[in-house]
């Protein structure tokens, strides 16, 4: 899952980014409205954490411009402005949630997880694909009774596939969702993570759940032969 943080206060930005990274999100962070609009245009995100008082304008303008693009990314406003009017106008312009600073880190993360679940229409934090169970909150994975240990990036790949269960996911989409702007590695590492993940979730005697769709990408599905 990849998140954009638009926040000009360096201290808050660093705190939020560290929090997100500790929970395995890929994170891009910018400090101005202009950069926020640019990043939203260029990249695909699973969520946006948006400050309102930015040096070159209001976060509300970022939100307004962004909503006209028709992209459906959940936006959480994180602002020192806690008045009813501020909250109402933020939500009316198209924010999905509003949290007032100072905030409790655990609450910010819980609200973000809720937004991502809503976006993918998966209200339950536990995603089931056949006998595979993925707990998106604790990041515990098991197949039947077998617990599966995944490295953070392997889990990130699995989560993207599980959020799109029964729908093929392209390599580019996987790539965009598990890496942020800072990463400058090789794109074939996506395939490496997928094959490691497959070796862990699909045992020799088990029905395969992770499928390669030639020319398209990958698919997590329990209903495919
Ligand atoms: Ca600010």
Alpha-carbon distances, residue 22 vs 5, 15, 16, 103, 159 (angstroms): 15, 11, 10, 17, 16
Per residue in 197-217, pLDDT (tens digit) is 999 999 999 999 999 999 999
Go through the domains of the chain in sequence order and give each one's CATH number.
Answer: 2-119 (3.40.50.2300), 126-220 (1.10.10.10)
The percentage of the chain sitting over the pLDDT mark of 90, rounded to a whole number, equals 83
DSSP per position, 98-152: EEESS--HHHHHHHHHHHHHHHTT--SSEEEETTEEEETTT--EEETTEEE---H
Per residue in 28-71, pLDDT (tens digit) is 999 999 999 999 999 989 999 999 999 999 999 999 999 888 88
Peptide bond just before 102 cis, omega within 30 deg? yes
The pLDDT assigned to 71 comes to: 83
Span from the CA of 54 to the centroid of ligand 1 (angstroms): 5
Beta bridge partners of 50: 6, 77
The percentage of the chain sitting over the pLDDT mark of 70, rounded to a whole number, equals 97
Report the half-sphere exposure of 72 (CA within 13 A, side-chain side): 6
Span from the CA of 40 to the centroid of ligand 1 (angstroms): 18
Which pair of tokens denotes residue 101?
């600073």
Span from the CA of 19 to the centroid of ligand 1 (angstroms): 18
Q: How far is the C-alpha of 157 from the C-alpha of 171, rounded, in Å?
A: 10
What pTM did the predictor assign?
0.87
- pLDDT-derived band at 187 (thresholds 50, 70, 90) equals low
The pLDDT assigned to 54 comes to: 97
At which residue do the structure tokens 């980014």 appear?
Answer: 17
Span from the CA of 3 to the centroid of ligand 1 (angstroms): 18
């Amino acid at each position: 899952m990849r998140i954009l943080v638009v926040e000009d206060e360096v201290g808050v930005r660093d705190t939020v980014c560290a929090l997100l990274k500790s929970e395995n999100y890929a994170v891009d962070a910018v400090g101005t409205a202009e950069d926020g609009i640019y990043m939203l245009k260029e990249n695909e995100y699973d969520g946006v954490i948006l400050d309102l008082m930015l040096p070159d304008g209001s976060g509300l303008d970022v939100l307004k411009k962004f909503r006209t693009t028709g992209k459906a990314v959940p936006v959480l406003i994180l602002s020192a402005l806690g008045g009813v009017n501020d909250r109402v106008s933020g939500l009316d312009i198209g924010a999905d949630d509003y949290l007032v600073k100072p905030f409790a880190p655990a609450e910010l993360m819980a609200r973000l997880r809720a937004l991502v679940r809503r976006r993918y229409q998966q209200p339950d934090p536990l995603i089931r694909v056949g006998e595979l169970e993925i707990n998106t909150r604790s990041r515990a994975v098991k197949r039947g009774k077998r617990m599966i240990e995944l490295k953070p990036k392997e889990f990130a790949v699995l989560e993207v596939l599980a959020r799109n269960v029964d729908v093929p996911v392209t390599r580019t989409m996987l790539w965009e969702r598990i890496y942020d702007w800072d990463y400058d590695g090789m794109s074939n590492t996506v395939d490496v993570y997928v094959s490691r993940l497959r070796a862990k979730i699909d045992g020799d005697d088990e029905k395969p759940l992770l499928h390669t769709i030639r020319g398209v990408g990958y698919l997590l599905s329990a209903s495919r032969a």
